[in-house]
Amino acid sequence: MTAGGTMTLKITFLGSGSSFAIGPENYQSNVLLELENDTLLIDAGTDIKYSLRDQGLTYKDIKNVYISHLHYDHCGGLEWFALITYFDPNLSHKPCLIASDKIINELWDKSLSGGLSTLPHERANLSAFFDVKAVKQYEGFVWRSIKFKLVQTVHYYSEYELMPSFGLIFSYNKSRILFTSDTQSCPVQLISFYEESDIIFHDCETTESKSGVHAHYSELVKLPSHLKKKMWLYHYNPGKLPNAKKDGFLGFVAKGQSFVF
């Protein structure tokens, strides 16, 4: 609880690495929000059960999950999470699954149906495992009285079609917080969100060559200093990292690092 009497929001990076991160050094960039004995997990990648364990947590601690897009390091752990919660007789409520209405159907059809269509006495769908909340882009959603706005980013194209990927922006205790999730470097599109935010958690690729689907460090370092000084970098690649603090950033987020608001 803060000095003003409000409850503190704790944000923990269960992992801060790219999709190719290999534990236990680091895990995929999945983030846990904790407030008033409730939890919101931002993305659930393939190593989520291990990154939870490293923080002394289990699936029982996760009440709500937000999925930003359909890559495996962001939704590949949902099959495990769905099955282990479904078959736990001691859980009285389904976990809540939150995602943009632009991806919620594809989440089942393209990512989960193959492994989860295994229920003997009912036709399986997302609602068999989760309390599903499909979010319209301009409406957002509310968790613990916090209003989250979806921020569409330019992550990747498939046959000239932009695939949906949504970061989040929200406010708590007078801090405006932006999670980009996965995004290319597109400052023109994101500049208004950068400017209004007090702290920014930004996708950052650190490979020698650019993949073209993530913001690269060499691109982010060119941002104005007043933006870099409120920017934490995550979703980075294994290996040696640049000196982000020297270059004006807050730094690279470490595995297990927590922020309190």
Q: What is 9-73 written as a DSSP string? A: PEEEES--B-TT--TTT--B--EEEEETTEEEEE---TTHHHHHHHTT--GGG--EEEE--SSHH
Tokens of 151: 């921020």
Amino acid at 189: Q
pLDDT tens profile 205-234: 999 878 777 899 999 999 999 999 999 999
Top pLDDT among 250 and 187 is at 250
Answer yes or no: is pLDDT of 193 > 80: yes
In terms of Cβ atoms closer than 10 Å to its own Cβ (0-12, 13-18, 19+), residue 10 is middle
Answer yes or no: is pLDDT of 1 > 70: no
Q: What is the pLDDT of residue 51?
A: 98
Binned at pLDDT 50, 70 and 90, residue 115 comes out as very high
Q: What is the pLDDT of residue 28?
A: 98
Binned at pLDDT 50, 70 and 90, residue 121 comes out as confident
The arithmetic mean of pLDDT across residues 175-179, rounded, is 98
Alpha-carbon span 12 to 96, nearest angstrom = 19
Tokens of 10: 């704790």
Say if CB 255 and CB 16 are below 8 A apart. yes
Answer yes or no: is pLDDT of 250 > 90: yes
Helices and strands (H and E) in the chain: how many: 9, 16
Q: What is the pLDDT of residue 3?
A: 55
Nearest one of 50, 164, 145 to 106, comparing CA atoms:
164
Answer yes or no: is pLDDT of 5 > 60: yes
Q: What is the pLDDT of residue 211?
A: 79
Answer yes or no: is pLDDT of 239 > 80: yes
Nearest one of 239, 240, 233 to 254, comparing CA atoms:
233
Amino acid at 4: G
Q: What is the pLDDT of residue 181?
A: 93
Q: What is the pLDDT of residue 243?
A: 98
Answer yes or no: is pLDDT of 162 > 80: no
Top pLDDT among 183 and 236 is at 236
Q: What percent of the chain has pLDDT over 70?
A: 97
Query: Left if phi > 0, otherwise alpha if psi is -120 to 50, otherwise beta: which for 69?
Result: beta
- Three-state SS at 201: strand
Query: Minimum mean pLDDT among 29-38, 72-81, 178-187: which range?
Result: 178-187
Binned at pLDDT 50, 70 and 90, residue 257 comes out as very high
Q: What is the pLDDT of residue 261?
A: 97
10-260 — its CATH code? 3.60.15.10
Q: In what order do the strands lie in the sheet with 31-35?
A: 131-135, 96-100, 64-67, 38-42, 31-35, 10-13, 258-260
Any idea where the domains of the chain sit in the sequence? 10-260
The arithmetic mean of pLDDT across residues 104-118, rounded, is 93
Exposure pattern of 56-89 as b/e (b: 16+ CB <10 Å)?
A: ebebeebbbbbbbbbbebbbbbbbebbeebbeee
